[in-house]
Amino acid sequence: MDCFQYKNGVLHAEDVNLVDIAQQYGTPCYVYSRTAIEQQWHLFNNALANYPHLICYAVKANSSLAILNVLAQLGAGFDIVSGGELERVLQAGGQANKIVFSGVGKTVAEIRRALEVGIFCFNVESEAELLRINEIAGQIGKRAPISLRVNPDVDAQTHPYISTGMKQNKFGIDITLAPQVYAMAAQLPHIDITGVDCHIGSQLTTITPFIDAAQRVMQLVEGLKQQGITLKHIDFGGGLGVQYNAETPPSVADYAQALQSVVGNSPYQLVFEPGRVIVANAGVLVTKVEYLKQTPDKHFAIIDAAMNDLIRPALYSAWQAVSPIAPHQQGTLQTYDIVGPICETGDFLAKDRELILQAGDLLAIRSAGAYGFAMSSNYNTRPRVAEIMVYGRESRIIRQREMLADLWALESVWAY
Ligand code: LLP
């Protein structure tokens, strides 16, 4: 069920009217449907029901404490990429022993803390990192569970900025070199080899790259067995795409089924790191039209949200749907660029959209639950916006709108 639907001519989040949300909490604000998050979680979890598995939600997609808490209550694990994300997960009630730690640049302090709290696994991205983890584990008298993140050299056929599994990317260890690095890991006294990991990119809308990568990983796993190294889990990363516009990504069920078939009946625990597919379509950015502006060339709708609030259109030319919250029944359709108040030509949220608009209208930028607020900034000294969660008929503020004083709270002038 789509949790954002029109009822009596007004867009709702579950049973909550978004005009009321805008009045109560102000604009711009992110609005998340708790039911939508729960639905996506169950879809994923049910698709893997017949296999031992651990779903580690990729915290970077949306790291709001309230969202992490919803997922923790459902039994989720978490994929983290920083010490900050680790503390967020713990703060939100997540379990340390269900955390995988990804990322190419883990610091000494981050590794030590992750060992102390006892995470499920480090996804190791280089030999140098492996040696560092071994050394720190030795210093504090622990053994570190590790998998190697391998780079299978597969083209994910997605935007180049979010493609990670090709030879020229900074991620992972070349799959052809992995047997050597596993052999080295096996000699290290404070390392426990527990698995293998691979993540080839984000917003994948076809299944073939996933299958290609999985087949290469399984070949590696078989080879390792001959080498006397037996793994407990296989981590297929995240990356399953969602529908923003006319994309037709594989269903969660088809995706899970395809990967299970590649693994066959082998006794491995399957680990996944989905981010976008859990939260993207569970959130919208609610914004108000400040002005309509017509130039000889174009019609602009200038809104109160901007690229600092949602950077995906500016950064990746990403397309996100724009829905009027209370559409006019009459009026003239125009083709608008939906732009923010920031002083950059790249400050657009959408281009060439046919809409009937008036100043003061409310718009919902759809599919904004993933990589929306999480990538927002204070550029142009704009306070980060409020975040609201809806559940049935109720709504709660889960992050206050920043106040101006928050923006310079850590700064000082140098009176000289
Ligand atoms: N695991 C690892 C190691 C990752 O690097 C990522 C995403 C994920 C899991 C989750 O991928 P997902 O299921 O969400 O596709 N800011 C970009 C997306 C960057 C993705 C980075 N890594 C965007 O807005 O499209």
Asked which of 272, 301, 320 is the last residue of a domain, the reply is 272
Give the confidence band of 171 by pLDDT, cuts at 50, 70, 90: confident
**240 has pLDDT over 90:** yes
Question: What ipTM was reported for this prediction?
Answer: 0.99
Domain shared by 161 and 304, yes or no? no
In a domain, 237, yes or no: yes
Domain shared by 125 and 225, yes or no? yes
pLDDT, average across residues 156-176:
79
How far is the centre of ligand 1, averaged over its atoms, from the C-alpha of 197 (Å)?
A: 14
In a domain, 267, yes or no: yes
Tell me how far apart the alpha carbons of residues 274 and 279 are, in angstroms, rounded to a whole number: 9
Average pLDDT across the chain, whole number: 96
Structural tokens at position 389:
């969660």
Domain shared by 260 and 373, yes or no? no
Instruction: Name the residue range of residue 313's domain.
Output: 4-32+280-407
Tell me how far apart the alpha carbons of residues 291 and 289 are, in angstroms, rounded to a whole number: 6
Residue 302: CATH number of its domain = 2.40.37.10
How far is the centre of ligand 1, averaged over its atoms, from the C-alpha of 316 (Å)?
A: 13
Strand partners, 163: 201
In a domain, 371, yes or no: yes
**187 CB-near residues (< 8 Å, 6+ apart):** none
Peptide bond just before 28 cis, omega within 30 deg: yes
In a domain, 78, yes or no: no
The predicted structure's pLDDT at residue 147: 98
pLDDT tens-digit profile of 188-224? 999 999 999 999 999 999 999 999 999 999 999 999 9
Pocket probe for ligand 1: among 121, 148, 276, 311, the residue whose CB has the most ligand atoms within 8 Å is 276
**195 CB-near residues (< 8 Å, 6+ apart):** 121, 146, 147, 231, 232, 233, 234, 235, 269, 271
Domain shared by 142 and 226, yes or no? yes
In a domain, 57, yes or no: no
Q: State whether the Cα torsion 129-133-134-138 is positive or negative.
A: positive
Q: List the one residue out of 121, 119, 117, 144 whose CA is nearest residue 133.
A: 144
How far is the centre of ligand 1, averaged over its atoms, from the C-alpha of 100 (Å)?
A: 14
Domain shared by 134 and 193, yes or no? yes
pLDDT tens-digit profile of 385-409? 999 999 999 999 999 999 999 999 9
Domain shared by 216 and 289, yes or no? no
In a domain, 308, yes or no: yes
CB of 273 within 6 A of ligand 1: the answer is yes
State whether residue 364 is helix, strand or coil.
strand
In a domain, 50, yes or no: no
Q: How many domains does the chain contain in total?
A: 2
State whether residue 361 is helix, strand or coil.
coil
Instruction: List the single range of 11-15, 67-71, 170-174, 337-341 with lowest mean pLDDT.
Output: 170-174
Domain shared by 212 and 268, yes or no? yes
Domain shared by 119 and 215, yes or no? yes
- Binding positions for pyridoxal 5'-phosphate are 239, 273-276, 371
Domain shared by 236 and 338, yes or no? no
Q: List the one residue out of 190, 200, 105 whose CA is nearest residue 150.
A: 200
Domain shared by 109 and 255, yes or no? yes
**34 has pLDDT over 80:** yes
Tell me how far apart the alpha carbons of residues 265 and 23 are, in angstroms, rounded to a whole number: 54
In a domain, 115, yes or no: yes
Percent of the chain scored above 70 by pLDDT? 100
Asked which of 206, 240, 272 is the last residue of a domain, the reply is 272
Domain shared by 135 and 259, yes or no? yes
Residue 215: CATH number of its domain = 3.20.20.10
Indicate which residue's Cα is closest to atom 6 of ligand 1.
Answer: 238
The predicted structure's pLDDT at residue 36: 98
The predicted structure's pLDDT at residue 156: 75
The predicted structure's pLDDT at residue 256: 96
Residues in the chain: 416
pLDDT, average across residues 170-199:
96
pLDDT, average across residues 268-295:
98
Atom of ligand 1 nearest to the CA of 273: 9
pLDDT tens-digit profile of 90-137? 999 999 999 999 999 999 999 999 999 999 999 999 999 999 999 999
Q: b/e per residue, 224-258, with b = 16+ CB within 10 A?
A: beeeebebbbbbbbbbbbbebeeeebbebeebbee
The predicted structure's pLDDT at residue 169: 78
How far is the centre of ligand 1, averaged over its atoms, from the C-alpha of 410 (Å)?
A: 30
Tell me how far apart the alpha carbons of residues 5 and 310 are, in angstroms, rounded to a whole number: 22
The predicted structure's pLDDT at residue 208: 95
CB of 395 within 6 A of ligand 1: the answer is no
Tell me how far apart the alpha carbons of residues 108 and 396 are, in angstroms, rounded to a whole number: 38
Domain shared by 219 and 338, yes or no? no
The predicted structure's pLDDT at residue 155: 80
Asked which of 240, 272, 304 is the last residue of a domain, the reply is 272
